[in-house]
Structure 1
Amino acid sequence: MTPSLTETPTLTADLVRLRPVTADDVPRLHTLMQDPEVGRLTGSAHSDDEAGAVPWTVEQLQEIYARWEGEDDRLVWAVEDLASGEVVGEAVLLDHDPGNASIGFRIWLGGARDRGLGTEATRLAVGHAVEVLGVHRVELEVYAFNPRARRVYEKVGFTLEGTKREALRYADGWVDCHVMAILAQDWRGPSDPGSPVRPATPAPRGR
């Protein structure tokens, strides 16, 4: 099966919906990026002083999302909290390698932690990658000072494969980066444990 990344589907479960990012979502995402934890845990900030600083304006960020929408190696979703109807972060399948049937994954949430949203969003994205795109391998990286995220990935089925030692410079020290992956044969399905995925609704690219 040849994976298609020409459409960004809407994926819905019990707690979250993954849907295409719209221009109207970007101001909200820009605000969420100012959460210091987002900057620190994603490695985009290299000190406590930088955490919470966003290097783009809203207009520049809108241009970035519009450009990503036209690229065929990734799917970019806004993560919507179904309880509030608000966008709470971003989830991305990226760096698609058709020859090796592999793809990368990243996710960040701002101010919506410890409610299971990240776990469910990760299951939705991985399920789409394996079951719809037909990839064999989904890979991610997580920094050592983010054990909460690592537990989420392990819950979904990711396995630690190795460590890039002192890969991130933060404040006055160095932080290891853990490489994790899940293979198609390891995928237990999005309904395990208890997060049934409702049918995906394809959304054509373009606004």
Structure 2
Amino acid sequence: MSAVVDLSNKPKIKGEKVVLRPFKDEDFPFIEECLKDTEIIKLTGSSPDFDRELILNWYATRNKQTDRLDLAIADKSQGFLVGEVVINLYDEKNHSMNFRILIGPRGRDRGLGTEATKLIIDYVFKNTTLNQLTLSVFDFNPRAKYVYEKVGFVIYGIDKNDLEYEGEWIDSINMKLTRENWINREKNPY
């Protein structure tokens, strides 16, 4: 990992509706609720079966990571975790990283995911030298795709039949947001 992409600082980023912050021990019941949510399982291609202790230990180490940024999304009005944002998987060739977001049932349909996405993208491009952020979204998740396009991500490829869900094959849409496009968005906001 290049020293210019040191993600050891785990910031607290405040928006109008959400606060992105390092994980706390008291977040785990809310994380567990998110990971067991049927919509999240479907839209992320995850399994409903997981080792609770393993997941608890994994989240307990997120704040110590220097090569990735994992932040809790806390609902500002309620004070509890409703999801997470993650910047990970450094790609040295393109000087880019992957972005992903997860919004649990308590955080949906209120614009929290959109705001969290904007906040983390702004933070990354203002505080690192990364050239771009990339992501993949399953084709049966139009709500997420809409948010990503709204903040400036563009499609650059499709992985056909990437996930089998209930006997049907689902494509994965690959998207990216370059620093240049982000700068242009900053000049002409959303």
Q: Paired residue for 2:5, among 3, 6, 11?
A: 3
CA contact (8 A) 1:5 1:73 kept: yes
Structure 2 counterpart of 1:35: 37
Structure 1 counterpart of 2:186: 189
CA distance in 1, matches of 2:24, 2:93: 31
CA distance in 2, matches of 1:123, 1:176: 25
CA distance in 1, matches of 2:186, 2:5: 18
**CA offset at residue 99 of structure 1?**
5.2
Structure 2 counterpart of 1:100: 94
Structure 2 counterpart of 1:12: 14
Matched, 1:76 2:70: yes
Cα deviations by residue, 1:67-112 (Å, 9 ceiling, x for unpaired): 3333322100110111211210111000123553211100010112
TM-score in terms of structure 2 length: 0.90
**CA offset at residue 60 of structure 1?**
2.1
CA distance in 1, matches of 2:82, 2:74: 6
CA distance in 2, matches of 1:96, 1:90: 18
The CA RMSD over aligned residues, in Å, is 1.8
**CA offset at residue 190 of structure 1?**
10
Matched, 1:125 2:125: no
Mean Cα deviation higher: 61-70 or 105-114:
61-70
Task: Name the SS for the 1:8 alignment partner.
Answer: coil
CA contact (8 A) 1:3 1:98 kept: no
Cα deviations by residue, 1:19-52 (Å, 9 ceiling, x for unpaired): 011122112110222210011001104xxxxxxx
Task: Name the SS for the 2:16 alignment partner.
Answer: coil
Structure 2 counterpart of 1:48: none
191 and 6 in structure 1: CA distance in 2 versus 1, 3 angstrom threshold: farther
CA distance in 1, matches of 2:25, 2:181: 36
TM-score in terms of structure 1 length: 0.83
Identical-residue share of aligned pairs (%) = 36
CA contact (8 A) 1:30 1:54 kept: no
Equivalent runs, 1:114-153 vs 2, <5 Å: 114-153=109-148
CA distance in 2, matches of 1:114, 1:9: 25
Q: Paired residue for 2:55, among 54, 57, 61?
A: 61
Name the amino acid aligned to 1:122.
Answer: T
Q: Paired residue for 2:172, among 150, 156, 177?
A: 177
Count of residue pairs brought into register by the alignment? 185
Relative to its length, the structure with more helix (as a share) is: 2
CA contact (8 A) 1:123 1:190 kept: no
Name the amino acid aligned to 1:42.
Answer: T
CA distance in 2, matches of 1:61, 1:190: 41
CA contact (8 A) 1:164 1:178 kept: yes
